[in-house]
Amino acid sequence: MRIAMIGGGYVGLVSGACFAEFGTDVAIVERDPKRLEALRKGSIPIYEPGLDTIVATNTQAGRLTFGDDLSTAIENADAVFIAVGTPTRRGDGHADLTYVYDAAAEIARTAKRGLLVVTKSTVPVGTGREVARILREARPDLLFDVASNPEFLREGNAIGDFMRPDRVIIGIDESGPDQGISAKDALRELYRPLYMIDAPIVFTDLETAELTKYAANAFLAMKVTFINEMADLCEKVGGNIHDVARGMGLDERIGPRFLYPGPGYGGSCFPKDTRALTAIAQDAGAPTQLVEATVAVNEARKIRMAERIIEQAGGSVAGRTVGVLGLTFKPDTDDMREAASIPILHRLHDAGAVIQAFDPEGMTPARALLPEKIRYCDDALSAAENADILVVLTEWNMFRALDPARLKTAMRGTAIADLRNIWNSDTMKAAGFDYRSIGRV
């Protein structure tokens, strides 16, 4: 098979490379000249474990190519995937669909024969149908099938998630020229390696597929937010949040995953998708109050984390040195989008803190988003050097391995605000720290 992938961003690049790994010929169309040049040279613009290897292998095998011309890419393609960005639209929280509709219009302009068009970007309910309308209105002479195949990749684990997914959701427009029969066949063929490992592949309609993606992300965001609230409660009434989470998670109906407390969820998906879902639901006259509360609680939490640090530093951080370990929204990524570190460090900076930080991958993107005055350090111990308080914002494995005695010697003060619970409370207290973590004493 042969497919074209519009968009060489995170989703387009990972899924394009993985489809190529499955044996499909993949032509990625990327319009940003800098990004395209980097990709052509084999340099991967994002940090994702394992991605560089499969991009290199498949480029060398000739299965994965990069270009900026859609008409060449779709010339012999069986399907074209739309994997462009859907950022939050300013003002109303809706997803901005400009790039998706532009891609559909361009497919219509350049196609020489009928095609299967698949949206991979996270899009509101109704987008697939609108894509079908755009294609069929612009080119009544051609037969287009439209499908929605949302992506559930987690950053840092994207290759594994693609190769061994919990499920694949495929929504097909059955009002199309052949009631979606050929679309179904083509997508079955494309995902054939996953049938071999018995991964559930769920065929449904366009709207259901689109909503499933939002519902799944909103539910997970809610799960994280719930455990964060329980953690706060543990701190007030006593109790250990990890034991509470374990006890809850052993109930198979709840499950143990996504019950780790922290400074509030961030990233490129949860914040954007929860906002978009609440906007869709409000417009539809069926507001999702639980999701609205999740969004508000999570935003407020990030600010509250800064207050908590200030309080632990004795009520003021003015002129005091705050060492920071971790900046990205989670480990194993260089992604800083909507990271809890952004509002927290802005607040600490405004309160007069002298901030020195280290993150193994996120320091370059962080510079554009964090206060200018932050000093970026070469390693974790340098970030702790002479710090009055040390704050853990991302649970990179390398931080877990730090020797408490060496940290103690490096720091000026003894306060540690571990917002990811990476260390054992007893060990840190025994080492002489005023150690505070989330939801446990």
Binding to ligand UDX by residue 304, rule CB under 6 A? Answer: no
Q: Please state the residue numbers annotated as binding site for substrate.
A: 152-155, 213, 258-262, 266, 330
- Of 165 and 413, CB closest to ligand UDX: 165
Q: How far apart are CA 405 and CA 114, in angstroms?
A: 67
Among 265, 358, 396, 423, interactor with ligand UDX by CB under 6 A: 265
Q: How far apart are CA 250 and CA 252, in angstroms?
A: 6
The answer to whether 146 and 209 are in contact (CB under 8 A) is no
Choose the catalytic residue: 18, 234, 269, 377: 269
Smallest separation (angstroms) from ligand UDX to the CB of 143: 31
* Region near ligand UDX per CB under 6 A, out of 137-145, 153-161, 280-288, 355-363: 153-161
Binding to ligand UDX by residue 267, rule CB under 6 A? Answer: yes
Binding to ligand UDX by residue 47, rule CB under 6 A? Answer: no
Q: How far apart are CA 421 and CA 438, in angstroms?
A: 6
Going by C-alpha positions, the residue among 143, 134, 71, 69 that lies closest to residue 97 is 134
- Of 232 and 385, CB closest to ligand UDX: 232
- Is there a catalytic annotation at residue 18? no
Binding to ligand UDX by residue 224, rule CB under 6 A? Answer: yes
Tokens of 239: 């109790």
Binding to ligand UDX by residue 154, rule CB under 6 A? Answer: yes
372: left (phi over 0), alpha (psi -120 to 50) or beta: alpha
Q: Strand, helix or coil at 154? A: coil
Binding to ligand UDX by residue 363, rule CB under 6 A? Answer: no
Smallest separation (angstroms) from ligand UDX to the CB of 110: 29
Q: Can you point out the beta strands (E) in 149-280?
A: 168-172, 201-205
Q: Kind and range of the H or E element at 18?
A: helix 10-21
Binding to ligand UDX by residue 328, rule CB under 6 A? Answer: no
Binding to ligand UDX by residue 219, rule CB under 6 A? Answer: no
Q: Kind and range of the H or E element at 356?
A: strand 354-358
Binding to ligand UDX by residue 260, rule CB under 6 A? Answer: yes
The answer to whether 122 and 162 are in contact (CB under 8 A) is no
Among 8, 9, 262, 362, interactor with ligand UDX by CB under 6 A: 262
Question: What residues are labeled active site?
Answer: 269
